[in-house]
Amino acid sequence: EIVMTQSPATLSVSPGERATLSCRASQSVSSNLAWYQQKPGQAPRLLIYGASTRATGIPARFSGSGSGTEFTLTISSLQSEDFAVYYCQQYNNWPVLTFGGGTKVEIK
Amino acid sequence: QVQLVESGGGLVKPGGSLRLSCAASGFTFSDYYMSWIRQAPGKGLEWVSYISSSGSTIYYADSVKGRFTISRDNAKNSLYLQMNSLRAEDTAVYYCAAQLWLLPCVYWGQGTLVTVSS
């Protein structure tokens, strides 16, 4: 089983600042890595797939990078609506999916 | 617009059963591969089960294998999850999610809460 580890667990950021979230896989997942955003009481929303491709309708301030075992989600300038929990997910073992534990981005 | 609407959740005693449903609209359901994903209260996301677009291929997480059964009816644009021998640790919001071949979950339902408690 591929284990996904996200860091940090909580990230405190001021609006307008840059946020950098990390995700590590226990073994290579190539570029088969997605990022989701989840707000309280809502379903997750796909942000990034293929490690760096934005999903439909996702603003350009969200960007993803990495391959193999190390991945990063960057939010270039945090807006109020971006404060949420972010999950990475590997789908290299598709259709068996594995999620990271999440990073909560909170207002500093 | 795309919609996935889950139903069937509720309170059930340990050892009991529930059947969840997921009604799809706004996209060609039969083209999509479907998964159930759950989230325990205050916890992260856990993949539960997968069914191929035709229904011919099915996978389960080890935590539910032998107790849960996934199925779909493409004529009714619906996905199902039969849950038997429920345990307290199955308490979660259950989401249905749609995927295309070798891609992550692009569409998600709003979830249905299953609570297993005596």
Strand partners, B114: B10, B92
pLDDT in tens, A28-66: 999 999 999 999 999 999 999 999 999 999 999 999 999
Quote the pLDDT of residue A97: 93
Best of A37, A56, A97 to substitute, by most chain B Cβ atoms within 10 angstroms, is A97
- d(CA A73, CA A39) in angstroms, rounded, equals 17
Q: Which residues of chain B have pLDDT under 50?
A: none
Nearest-CA distance A42 → chain B (Å) = 6
Residues of chain B whose beta carbon is less than 8 angstroms from a beta carbon of chain A are 33, 35, 37, 44-47, 50, 52, 59, 61, 95, 99, 102-106, 108-111
The full length of chain B comes to 118
Nearest-CA distance B43 → chain A (Å) = 8
Quote the pLDDT of residue B14: 98
Place of tokens 């677009």: B53
The answer to whether the CB atoms of B33 and A96 lie below 8 A apart is no
- d(CA B67, CA B30) in angstroms, rounded, equals 26
